Amino acid sequence: HINEELKNNETVNDLYFTFEENNDCIEFCFNEPSPKGWSVKPYDKPTKVSRRAIDDYGSKSPPNFPQRLIEITAEPGEGADRLSYPVTLRGIKSDNMELNIVLKTVIQQPLPTSSSMSLRDEVNSATAISQRQILNTSHLGDILDLLKRHGYSGVNYYDFGLHLGLLPRTLNVIDMERGDVSSHFRLCLEKWLQQADDVKGKGGPTYDTLIQALRKIEQNAAADGIDRELSIGKF
């Protein structure tokens, strides 16, 4: 997954651990303040993964372990060229009780635009691309905000996930995870963005397939609202 999302990632060592006695989860602690120029925020607080979830996912071949989303943003200026952020671990026994998030920023030059292209053409072109572009887990926060703005909270995420291309076995595992409907819905979208199961067969993780899936579960108001927002280039 790292190789797919981050083409320039560095190789990291595996973490070997055992659970502490009478403990049934591993907790990732984001206690340190974010360095200057950076913001590091976990989506779930506290950020935990249960022993059962690890065992269930790890029993698959190849293993497909549970994930937790972390939002990391960089602001232009001093200190934003490199991030080094420690995350301490609780609930386990290991030779390494701290993970270090290391990122480097790369400044990309904007693509030149044609002077003969009208503003309307630029907006329409960008919108058409945005609805068909393949999304990934870095878009999860934007997608959650988009769905929330248009009134869909994921209350029937199981059916929604089926229409996005996820299989019942994946959704059943999500359903067994600790947490409320919103956390299960977030995991459902994560799997979709990771192109699990038959997501590619449904057209891949795009805004277009998201809208189609909403219509199939009769969330037409949300689908229409998202379609309108994308069509005017607001999103």
Domain CATH code at residue 177: 1.10.533.10
The sign of the dihedral angle between the CA atoms of 220, 152, 50, 92 is: positive
| Domain hosting residue 127, numbered range | 119-231
Per-residue pLDDT of the chain (235 residues; tens, 9 = 90+): 334 444 444 445 677 888 898 888 899 999 999 888 888 888 778 888 888 877 776 566 555 666 777 888 887 776 667 888 899 999 999 888 888 888 877 655 555 554 444 444 444 444 443 667 889 999 999 999 999 999 998 989 999 999 999 999 999 999 888 889 999 999 999 999 999 999 999 989 999 999 999 999 999 999 999 888 887 755 4
CA angle, corner 113, sides to 111 and 117, nearest 5?
155
pLDDT digits (tens, 9 = 90+) for 180-193: 999 999 999 999 99
pLDDT digits (tens, 9 = 90+) for 37-91: 888 888 778 888 888 877 776 566 555 666 777 888 887 776 667 888 899 999 9
- In 3-state terms the chain splits into helix, strand, coil percentages (rounded to 5) of 40, 15, 45
Position 169 in a domain? yes
Judgement on whether residues 129 and 207 belong to the same structural domain of the protein: yes
pLDDT in the model for residue 157:
93
Judgement on whether residues 136 and 226 belong to the same structural domain of the protein: yes
Count: domains in the chain: 2
Of the candidates 76, 88, 86, 87, the one whose C-alpha atom is nearest the C-alpha of residue 38 is 76
Position 162 in a domain? yes
Q: State the pTM of this model.
A: 0.49
Judgement on whether residues 80 and 29 belong to the same structural domain of the protein: yes
Position 113 in a domain? no
Judgement on whether residues 169 and 203 belong to the same structural domain of the protein: yes
Judgement on whether residues 175 and 100 belong to the same structural domain of the protein: no
Domain boundary among 77, 104, 131: 104
Judgement on whether residues 87 and 128 belong to the same structural domain of the protein: no
Judgement on whether residues 100 and 123 belong to the same structural domain of the protein: no
Helix (H, G, I), strand (E, B) or coil at 25: strand
Q: Do the beta carbons of residue 57 and residue 173 sit within 8 Å? A: yes
Judgement on whether residues 100 and 177 belong to the same structural domain of the protein: no
Position 11 in a domain? yes
pLDDT in the model for residue 177:
87
Bridge partners for 63 per DSSP: none
